[in-house]
Every structure is written in structure tokens, then in C-alpha cells.
Structure 1
Amino acid sequence: MVAIGCAYFFGRVIFNMRKIAIAALCVALGGCPAQSKMLWHRADGQRALDNPTLRTQFEFDGTACLGERNKDNLSGVTVTGGELAGIAAVAYRSAAADTVQRGCMVEKGYLLVPEDQAQAKQAELVAVAEQKKATRGRGWRDRHKAAEASF
């Protein structure tokens, strides 16, 4: 009878320690700063909002990459068992799936940029696209001479 009482007591202590650990984790994570909103930009500098064709292409590309993300997230098994390690495994798996989606969008010509840096990045992408257009028609020797002249 004493053994059963001790087992019950220590079981309750461990259960309460788990609750305290989870509460401490929530408080610690609650202090983390919120991430800024992220926006997709075309790598060629064109704005999809101004062009219905580009907007439709973005929707197609986004849907295809979301499918790739979901396929990656569904492959394999994550056993959680209710422990903190299981929660961490699920979070890691979700982050890995996000990386797959970002990689897919980069392959399709998009960059993910924080909203507060969006205008500067848009201007930079337009400048790079214009520079590529200017050097596209010239041969290798002409580009090489132009590069030497800039030094």
C-alpha cells in the first residue's frame, strides 16, 4: 500500500514538473519578437500587382511550390509522444518544409523579402534587370572591356 502511495505521489510530482516546464517554455517563447511580414518579389524586378499575367503566373507558381512543401511535410513520420522533444521535432519539420517552399519559389524566380525592406529591394532588382538588359546583346570581349574600363 505504501509503494502504491509513493508511486502515485512521485507520478504527480513529475506531472507537475512537466506543467511547470511547459509554462516556462511558453513564457520564454512569448518574449520573442514577432517576425515582420514577408513579401514575394520577382527576381526580374517586375511588379505582379501591375500585370494580370504576372499575377496569374505568381498564383500558379505559389500553388505548385505549396504542393512541394506539403509533399515534403507529409513524407516520413514524426512521433511526438507529447514530450517537448516531440514538439521540437514538429517545429523543425515545419521549418524544413518552409525551406522547401522557399527553394521552389527561388527556382521559379521569386525572392522573399521583409515588408520593411520591400521598396529598396524592388529598386535593386529593377537596377540589376536593367544592367542585364544593357549587357545582353554584347559579346564576351565587349563585356570584358567594359568591366576593365570600370576599374
Structure 2
Amino acid sequence: MLSLLYQKWEAYASLSQSKAESIVKEILEQEKTVYQRTTKPPIYMYDAEKEQVIFKTDELEIALIYVSADPLTRMFSTIIGTKNHFDGITYLSINYEQSGQLALKSFLTQFNMRISHEPWKITTYPRFQFAFLLQHMNKRKWMKAIYS
């Protein structure tokens, strides 16, 4: 299909990539949705080492991208030995067709219900501790997707 038919929803989720992966699997298996799990190379802007985890269904393509720190912070944390003190968060990037809007909303609602905190609260992570504006924009994306 033409890429013009696809839309993309993206936002940060304040949980680790492995936790996000287990939640996505749980949702897809509970809904008895057939999916294919693959990986792609890391996106250096977010992290140079951890691969992206991709789940493809008939209606959605869900990419879980690990975010450790920006390249400058990663460099300094490696030099001073605090690299392992940074826990990562996940950047959700979901491609869907126009007809998949209901599937997207259902998926995000279930994702939100399965975590113990609001997924948009990213200021607890060191890289984003002063990113109040980004957190506000992130919250708006989540709220619009879930409650609209």
C-alpha cells in the first residue's frame, strides 16, 4: 500500500522497553491477535546499543524504541562511569491505517490500564527531569488518543 494511507502515533512511555514488550505481548495474546515480532537496528539518537522491538499485526505496527539518554549525556556518563545508572524509557511509534484508528485507541487504552502509573510522566527519568513542556505535550498525545 502507499505510505500516504498510513498514519503514525508517537509518544514516550515511562517504563522500560522490556516491560513495554511484555505488556504489548499480553495485550495481543489476550485479544487473540496474530502478530509477528521482529527487531530493527537501534536508533542512535535514542540509544546506540538496544535494538527496536517491532510487533506487526494486520492493523498496527508497534515499534518499541529504547531511550537511554541523548548522545552528549551518554558520552559524559560513560566517561565518569555512571552509564549503568540510567534506566531507560520507551518511545512508542505506532503506524496504522486510517481504518485502524479503533484498534489504536483500544491498544493504547489497554496499555495504559496495565501499568501502575501514567505513561506520560517522563520527568522522573534523569534525562527528562526538567522537560515539563515535553511531558505536557506527551500527556496531550496520550489523552487525545485514549479519550477522544
Does TM-score exceed 0.5, indicating one fold?
A: no
Structure having the higher strand fraction is: 2
Select the structure with the greater relative contact order (CA < 8 A; seq sep ≥ 6).
Answer: 1
TM-score by length of 1: 0.24
TM-score by length of 2: 0.24
Q: Of the two, which has the highest radius of gyration?
A: 1
Structure having the higher helix fraction is: 1
